[in-house]
Structure 1
Amino acid sequence: MTSEPRTPLQLVWPSHEHLAGYIAALERGWSPNNLRPEAGQEELAQIHADPERFLASLVDPEAKGPPVALPGGGTVPRLPGYRRWMWDGEFCGSIQLRWQPGTNALPIYCLGHIGYGVVPWKGNRGYAKAALRALLPEARTRGLDHVDITTSPENLASQQVIRANGGVLVEEFVKLPELGGTPELRFRIDVRELR
């Protein structure tokens, strides 16, 4: 019995070509924001209202977009950043890079430089690890020496993804009440030697 060859994972820019796959994932209940699960439904509404504007909002290296909603209510200023979509012939998940120009520091309301999520039906394929590895050199091109990535103490899969890409645990902390007030782990990955 032969198995179908798997298409290697790629990071693609959000586009009309891949939008139907993204919409299908949102309609199945997936959300690109693990702090705000309702963000998936909000994004569906944005796509239906104006797909061009939605796609443009996902690539915002100058932080021209509107403020960002917090899980506990309220908003904070948007950071420069962008999302890339994981693609293996179908939509698999997304990964986001955000930064502040001229510094590695992030505002207290931003937990990390990189956030990612794989759709459940594409899990256990190494996609998060591959996507993070592919995105790290891009962080260096944005002037970062390192990236911080956070995850919950219970999320062993995410910790493995981060460690497999050179992540080192730098602190345990409690998130701000506006971000859930729960324990979190902060990992750091040095990107200075990446090409």
Structure 2
Amino acid sequence: MEGDRRIQFILMGTAVAIFVFSYSLGYFIGKEAGFEEAKQKFDIEKQKLLKTIAALSPVSQPRVENKVVVVDNTKEKTEHSVAEEKVKKEISQEKKKIVEEKKKELASTSTKQEKKSTVKLKSKETTREIKEKGYYLQVGVFKNKTNAIKLASQLKEKGFNSKTLFYDKYTVVTVGYFDSKEKALSVQKLLKNIGYKSILKRRK
């Protein structure tokens, strides 16, 4: 910038000097050739001078500053990393949720299977028990409930497993149940020895 200004000052000084010189020249020439002719020559010299100054004067051009733009990708990378971590976390939580649901389903299925197995086992045991204890002794049939209850009490006092079965029109007194026919016959013999008659029956 300082160099450009110096050149401008030099050119301006040169132009002033040429202008003074031209004016003086015109003045002297004017005396000899006339004022009008001198004026025309002066205008021509003036135009040449202006063209010379324009040609020599450097055009002031704006200085172009080369700015280096630094793009900060740190924030973008950070946001991308946060979003990626969030997605990974959501996927991990979803996987855990699916695993937990599968565990619950398996546990529920296992519990149901255990319950079914238990029910089947109990059912089998009950059926087996009924089959094994399929005999009993009918000691008496009474229309009067009081007599039936009295007989059942007597048999219990003597150590027999007596029961009273109530029906619409009669009441039955039994002893048993027995898991084999031999046991039922053995008890029937004991009852006979103490004066009680009985009939061997099989459970239906």
TM class, shorter-length: under 0.3
Task: Flag the structure with larger Rg.
Answer: 2
TM-score (norm 2): 0.18
Whichever structure has more strand as a proportion of its residues is 1
Query: Would you tell me which structure has more helix in proportion to its own residues?
Result: 2
Higher relative contact order (CA 8 A, sep 6+): 1
